[in-house]
Amino acid sequence: MDNIDKQLVNRLQDGFPVTERPFLAIAEEFELEESDVMQRVQTLLDDGIFSRFGPMFQAERLGGGLTLAAMKVAPEDYEKVTELVNAFPEVAHNYQREHELNMWFVLATETPEGIEETIQRMEAITGYQVYNMPKQEEFYVGLRFEL
């Protein structure tokens, strides 16, 4: 990452312009070409600096479902189960943890009922129980990584 990439990462953590051409708005801030900003973002994704780049929606406000889920997966099955779980389009943020429940992920569905339907399909495909942990209260944490 060069200095411009670092500045771009810092800027993008503050939000993305909601305009017809958001990359152009960012490019103008940095005195760059729109295509350069788009390419830099793509390179940050390709290089694994960004694990994800896109909007964060509040699924419940849009009529959908959202939950934190976990599984207790045997070490010898972990890689296979990870592939199966990650194949579900409803899955985001799948992380391995050093805990009895060693796989944690977020499920987002189009309807609240979709959570239970997805969990049932996932259990049938993986052979493992999915622990559903819906949020009871939401807290905003302004996490930021200054580069």
User: Does 27 lie in the same domain as 64?
Assistant: no
- Considering the domain architecture, whether residues 65 and 129 belong to the same structural domain is answered as yes
Is 147 a domain residue? no
* 123 within a domain of the structure (yes/no): yes
CATH number of the domain bearing residue 115: 3.30.70.3460
Enclosing domain of residue 118: 59-133
Task: Confirm whether 139 is domain-assigned.
Answer: no
Looking at the fold, whether 66 and 112 belong to one and the same domain comes out as: yes
Considering the entire predicted model, what is its pTM? 0.66
The answer to whether residue 39 sits within a structural domain is yes
Residues 105 and 69 in one domain: yes
pLDDT value at residue 12: 93
Q: Give residue-wise pLDDT tens across range 56-65.
A: 777 788 888 9
CA atoms of 50 and 122, how far apart (whole Å): 27
Q: Are residues 86 and 117 in the same domain?
A: yes
Low-confidence ranges of the chain (pLDDT < 50): none
Looking at residue 117, its pLDDT comes to 97
pLDDT of 102: 98
pLDDT at position 144: 80
Q: Could you give the number of structural domains in the chain?
A: 2
Task: Give the residue from 3, 138, 130, 1 showing the smallest Cα distance to 58.
Answer: 138
Here the tokens at position 18 are: 């909601």
User: How confident is the model at residue 21, as a pLDDT?
Assistant: 97
104 within some domain: yes
Cβ atoms 131, 70 nearer than 8 A: yes
